[in-house]
């Protein structure tokens, strides 16, 4: 079976800015792949090239073995795109929006109506389908936006940060719906800057930063790449910079500044915590909290880039 998606050496620049730089990735049938990276990492630019909306500066995209270009192409019908911004007519109902977009995809009649029922069901909007989009909450609009991407039963569904700015309940129902699609055999490309979402949903995760895919694997593989057993988070107040620097020399550790302290990946958490307290005393820093856990994707990102992934 051919890969559903094959990107080879994809690149895109805007003037002197290299927004996407030599990205190669493959998605297998039924696989949910997460593209995880902070704002500005190049996620939307990558998805736009895969969808054939933006011409790459270099590289190729193949979907089911067929090359995608911006020129109209039948290969594109295998793709469903859920854009980052809501693309719906606010004064039409969800059903009317779906009918409109379905016709653009060449769907008609009873087939279209039954697909509309199915997709509204998938996103949990069956009861509200006849209501105008402008009466929806932010989370419901997002779900209707997802229904549009699903309508023509694509082989590959791409969702660009579909939970940004939605309430926790809608967020959960969106994540559940996407998990079900993966179970049903659809290949999914999911972009996010939320580590928890990538961990919860994705079979494999690519970490993207400054346009480059800097690591790729399952959650377990990515975490194992750190090779160290523990993640020590210390929250503190006072002159943090000198204290952080004093911790940097501990053997086998990686120290990263967080907004309110440090995160340290290390082989010896007990010794690390003791050193953090001892040096805090020396540098006039007050420690307000300590947490020891196994590394997560946030630790992987910190380790690779020296930056925090989450919104500050």
Ligand X SMILES: Nc1ncnc2c1ncn2[C@@H]1O[C@H](COP(=O)(O)OP(=O)(O)O)[C@@H](O)[C@H]1O
CA distances (Å), origin 262, targets 52, 196, 233, 246, 302:
42, 20, 6, 12, 11
* CA–CA separation, 265 and 251 (whole Å): 11
The CA distances from residue 203 to 80, 278, 281, in Å, are 19, 42, 44
Which of the choices Mg ion, ligand X, none does residue 17 contact, using the CB cut-off of 5 to 8 A by kind?
A: ligand X
Q: Which residues contact 188 (CB under 8 A, 6 or more apart)?
A: 31, 32, 33, 156, 157, 158, 159, 178, 181, 182, 201
Nearer to Mg ion, 44 or 233 (CB): 44
Is 45 or 272 the residue whose CB approaches ligand X more closely?
Answer: 45
Distances (CA, A) of 51 to 48, 79, 160, 221, 269: 5, 7, 11, 29, 46
Site map for ligand X, 103-142, x if CB under 6 A?
A: ----------------------------------------
CA distance 156 to 174: 17
Of 39-47, 97-105, 128-136, 286-294, which segment contacts Mg ion by CB under 5 A?
39-47
295 binds, among ligand X, Mg ion, none (CB under 5 to 8 A by kind): none
98 vs 205 by CB, closer to ligand X: 205
* Residue 129 contact among Mg ion, ligand X, none, beta carbon within 5 to 8 Å by kind: none
Nearer to ligand X, 266 or 297 (CB): 297
Q: Is the CB of 158 or the CB of 266 nearer to Mg ion? A: 158
Q: Which is nearer to ligand X, 165 or 281 (CB)?
A: 165
Provide the minimum distance between the beta carbon of 255 and ligand X in the complex, in angstroms, as a whole number: 27
Of residues 138 and 289, the one with the C-beta less far from Mg ion: 138
Q: How far is the CB of 234 from ligand X (least distance, A)?
A: 30
User: CA–CA separation, 84 vs 48, rounded Å?
Assistant: 11
Kindly determine how many residues on this chain lie close enough to bind ligand X according to the rule CB under 6 A. Answer: 11
* Interface mask toward ligand X for 39-58; x: CB under 6 A: xxxxxxx-------------
Closest to 229 in 3D by CA, of 274, 311, 292 = 292
Which phi and psi (to 5°) does residue 142 adopt?
-60, -40
Q: Which stretch binds Mg ion (CB under 5 A): 44-52, 228-236, 245-253, 271-279?
A: 44-52
Q: How far apart are CA 254 and CA 263, in angstroms?
A: 8
Distance of closest approach, residue 24 Cβ to ligand X, in angstroms:
17
What minimum distance in Å lies between the beta carbon of 19 and ligand X? 3
What is the contact mask toward ligand X in residues 2 to 41, using x (rule: CB under 6 A)?
------------x--x-x-----------------x-xxx
Q: Assess contact for 51 and 58: CB atoms under 8 A.
A: no
Q: Please state, in angstroms and as integers, the Cα–Cα distance from residue 45 to each residue in 85, 164, 169, following that order.
A: 14, 17, 29
Binding partner at 39 among Mg ion, ligand X, none, C-beta below 5 to 8 Å by kind? ligand X
Q: Decide if residue 44 touches Mg ion (CB under 5 A).
A: yes
Residue 308 Cβ, how far from ligand X at the closest point, in Å?
Answer: 15
- The residue among 14 and 89 lying less far from ligand X, judged by its C-beta, is 14
Asked if 177 and 190 count as a contact pair (C-beta separation under 8 A), the reply is no
Record the tokens describing residue 289, joined without a space. 């909290």
Q: What strand order describes the sheet that includes 230-237?
A: 254-258, 261-266, 230-237, 286-293
- Residues near ligand X, by CB under 6 A: 14, 17, 19, 37, 39-45
Contacts with Mg ion, residue ranges (CB under 5 A) = 43-44
């Amino acid at each position: 079976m051919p890969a559903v998606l094959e990107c080879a050496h994809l690149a895109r620049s805007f003037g002197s800015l290299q927004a996407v730089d030599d990205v190669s990735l493959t998605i297998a049938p039924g696989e949910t792949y997460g593209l995880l990276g902070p704002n500005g990492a190049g996620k939307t630019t990558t998805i736009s090239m895969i969808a054939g909306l933006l011409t790459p500066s270099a590289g190729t995209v193949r979907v089911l073995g067929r090359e995608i270009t911006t020129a109209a192409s039948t290969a594109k019908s295998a793709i469903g795109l859920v854009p980052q911004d809501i693309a719906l007519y606010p004064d039409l109902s969800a059903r009317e929006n779906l009918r409109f977009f379905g016709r653009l995809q060449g769907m008609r009649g009873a087939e279209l109506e039954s697909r509309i029922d199915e997709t509204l069901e998938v996103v949990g909007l069956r009861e509200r389908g006849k209501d105008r989009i402008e009466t929806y909450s932010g989370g419901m609009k997002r779900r209707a936006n997802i229904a549009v991407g699903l309508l023509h039963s694509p082989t590959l569904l791409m969702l660009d940060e579909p939970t940004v700015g939605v309430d926790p309940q809608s967020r959960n129902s969106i994540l559940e719906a996407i998990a079900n699609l993966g179970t049903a055999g659809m290949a999914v490309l999911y972009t996010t800057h939320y580590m928890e979402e990538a961990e919860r949903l994705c079979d494999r995760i690519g970490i993207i930063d400054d346009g480059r895919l800097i690591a790729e694997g399952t959650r377990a593989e990515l975490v194992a790449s750190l090779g160290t057993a523990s993640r020590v988070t210390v929250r503190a107040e006072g002159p943090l910079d000198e204290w952080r620097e004093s911790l940097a020399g501990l053997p086998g550790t990686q120290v990263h500044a967080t907004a309110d302290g440090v995160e340290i990946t290390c082989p010896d958490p007990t010794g690390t915590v003791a050193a953090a307290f001892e040096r805090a005393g020396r540098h006039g820093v007050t420690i307000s909290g300590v947490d020891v856990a196994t590394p997560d994707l946030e630790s992987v990102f910190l380790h690779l880039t020296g930056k925090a992934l989450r919104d500050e």
